Amino acid sequence: MDDYLKDSMQNAVEKAKHQQRMRHDWNDLMEELIQDGVEKGLFDNLPGKGKPLNLTKNHFEGEQELAHSILKENDVPPAWIMERNQVLAETAELRAEIERKWGWHEERFTAVTTPAERDRLTISWDDACLKWAAQIEKLNKRIDTYNLKRPLANMELFKLNLEAELQRAGAARWLR
């Protein structure tokens, strides 16, 4: 009975030491357990041993895994990425048009000599700004829709503002 009592007490002491290590020396304990498993050969017969890891698999896809793999195999981006690319392309086109038209209007405005020509250019510039304001409003609605569709971990698009876009192009809101 003494041996049984000694073994029982020794097991209790080892268990207490193990619990203590689990609380305080977690990283060291995990390393030791892994090393112990390697020495015992526990990792020798794992499936896929010696083969490269498949790091392209997204474990967060869940039920969308099949759909995403089909899209990837056919070089088709998900709809939210296509929408983002389209919005960014239209934004770039809008910015290029603002710069181009500003350059044209600024050049003409400084070259004209009659008040009638200046008035015509001023009205033309104002019409262009009104058109861009309407375009920006439509783009902002699409940006809102995109931001609702995109996965949360991906970058959101920020809304546009006519004044900021004119400033980016170095353009004045009013031609004077």
Q: Are 159 and 133 in contact (CB under 8 A)?
A: no
What is the C-alpha separation between 121 and 117, in angstroms, rounded?
Answer: 6
Predicted confidence (pLDDT) at residue 101 exceeds the cutoff of 90: yes
How many domains is the chain partitioned into structurally? 1
Region 86-110 average pLDDT: 94
**Beta-carbon count within 10 A of 83 CB:** 18
What is the C-alpha separation between 166 and 15, in angstroms, rounded?
Answer: 72
User: Within a domain: residue 14?
Assistant: no
Task: Record the pTM.
Answer: 0.60
What per-residue confidence (pLDDT) applies to 150? 81
Predicted confidence (pLDDT) at residue 60 exceeds the cutoff of 70: no
Q: Are 110 and 129 in contact (CB under 8 A)?
A: no
User: Within a domain: residue 11?
Assistant: no
Q: DSSP letter at 156?
A: P
User: Within a domain: residue 13?
Assistant: no
What is the C-alpha separation between 149 and 151, in angstroms, rounded?
Answer: 7
Range of the domain at 134: 79-168
User: Within a domain: residue 176?
Assistant: no
